[in-house]
Structure 1
Amino acid sequence: MITTSSKLFYGLGTLSFVGALVWVIAHDGSSLGSVALIFLAISLLFLGGIASYVRDGHVLSTDTAAHASAPAAQSASGNSWWPLASALSLGMVVVGLISSPGIFKIGIALSIAMFGEWMITNWSDRASANAAYNEKVRGWVVHPLEIPIGGALLMTVIVLSFSRIMLSVASESGPIIFAVVGTAVLVGGSLVSVRRGV
C-alpha cells in the first residue's frame, strides 16, 4: 500500500538517484557526490518501504479489533523538562567542539543521559492511564541508575570544590572554612532528617 508519507520518500529517493546520475555526468565520472546521493536514495527508499508496511500508522475503519491499540488512541506524553535539558546538552557539545575537549566529553555524556531520560519518561507516560502508576514504573526503571550515579557525581563535585577552595585560601583560613561548611552541612542534614521523621 502506497501511503502519503511513502509517496514522499519514494519521490525523494528517485530524485536522489537521478541527482547521482546527473552528478556523474556533470563531473566527468567523479564518484564522491554520487556515492553520497546514492546512499541518501537508498535510505529514503528504505524509509518509504517502512511507511508502506505500517501504513503510516493508520487503522482501517473496518478493523475494529485494532482500534484500541492504534497510535491515535494512545494517551499523549506529559510535559517534561528533558527536551530542554537535551537541547542544552547538545549545545554544550557544540561549544566543546570549539573550546575544550573536556566540555565536549561532558556534553556527550550529558546528551546520552538526557536523551535516555527523555525516552524512558515518554515510555512510562504510556504505561497506563494512571499517572501515579506511570511514575512508579519510571522509578522502577531509572532509580537504580539515577540515585547511585547522581550520588557519585555529587560527591565528586563536593570533593573537587573543597580541594579547590583549600588550595586557594590561606593556610590559617582553611580549617575555619572547613569547619563552617561542615557545620552547615550537618545542620542542614539534621533538619531534613527531623522533618521527614527519620
Structure 2
Amino acid sequence: MITKGSRFFFGFAALAYVGAIVYGLSTGGHVFGVFSLGYKESVGEHLGYAVLLGAAAVSAFLGFFTVALRDADPEAEAQVVHLEHVPPAESINRTNFWPIVAAFSLGAMAIGLVVGSPLFVAGAIGLGIVVIEWGIRNWADRRTGDPEVNRE
C-alpha cells in the first residue's frame, strides 16, 4: 500500500521528471538525448535539466523511504514490534521561545545581506545557537516517559 506521504513524493518525482523532459526538449535537446539522460545525443541546457532530474531522483528516494517506514505510523510500528496496542503519545505543553529567536536570527541575516556583514554574522551565530538549543530541548522533553522528570 502506498502511504499518503509517499504519494506526495512520487507525484513530485513524476512532475520533476516530466518537467526535465519538457525542459530538455524546449531548450534544443534531441529526443533520444533527453530520454537517454544525455548518453547518445544532447539534452539542451544542462543545468536546468540536471536540477530537475536531481529533484526527481531525490523525491523518488524519499518516496521509497517513506513507504519503507510507513510514514512513521504508530499502528504500523506497533505491528512490526508485535505489540497488542499502540503506546499512547505524550503531548508537550511547555512554552517554547526558540522559534521566535530563530525568526529574529533569520531576519537579522536577511537584513545583514543588505546592510553589512556583522549583522549577518550575528544572525548566523544566533541561528546556530537556536539549532543546538532547540534540539537539546526537544530531546530533553522526551527523554523519559514521566513529564515531571522531563521538566527538571
Alpha-carbon offset, residue 50 of structure 1: 1.4
Structure 2 partner of 1:40: 55
Taking structure 1 as the reference length, the TM-score comes to 0.61
Q: Distance in 1 between matches of 2:9 and 2:77?
A: 25
Cα distance change of structure 1 residues 48 and 54 upon mapping to structure 2, 3 Å threshold = same
Cα distance change of structure 1 residues 21 and 76 upon mapping to structure 2, 3 Å threshold = same
User: Deviation string for 1:36-66 (max 9, x for gaps)?
Assistant: 1111111211111111011011224982617
Structure with bigger gyration radius: 1
Between the two structures, name the one with larger relative contact order (CA 8 Å, sep ≥ 6). 2
Q: Distance in 2 between matches of 1:122 and 1:62?
A: 23
Structure 2 partner of 1:52: 67
Q: Secondary structure of 1:76's partner?
A: coil
Structure 2 partner of 1:113: 129
Q: Secondary structure of 2:91's partner?
A: coil
> In structure 1, what residue type is equivalent to 2:143?
A
Structure 2 partner of 1:7: 7
Identical pairs, percent: 30
Structure 2 partner of 1:67: 86
Structure 2 counterparts to residues 1-198 of structure 1, below 5 A: 1-28=1-28, 29-58=44-73, 59-60=75-76, 63=79, 65=83, 67-68=86-87, 73-77=88-92, 78-136=94-152
Structure 2: unaligned runs, 5 residues or longer: 29-43
Alpha-carbon offset, residue 130 of structure 1: 3.2
Taking structure 2 as the reference length, the TM-score comes to 0.78
Structure 1: unaligned runs, 5 residues or longer: 137-198
Q: CA contact under 8 A between 1:24 and 1:30: conserved in structure 2? A: yes
Alpha-carbon offset, residue 124 of structure 1: 1.0
> In structure 2, what residue type is equivalent to 1:2?
I
Alpha-carbon offset, residue 14 of structure 1: 1.2
Cα distance change of structure 1 residues 61 and 106 upon mapping to structure 2, 3 Å threshold = closer
Q: CA RMSD in A?
A: 2.0
> In structure 2, what residue type is equivalent to 1:111?
L
Q: Distance in 1 between matches of 2:128 and 2:16?
A: 32
Name the structure where helix makes up a greater proportion of residues: 1
Q: Distance in 2 between matches of 1:125 and 1:91?
A: 28
Structure 1 partner of 2:33: none
Aligned residues: 132
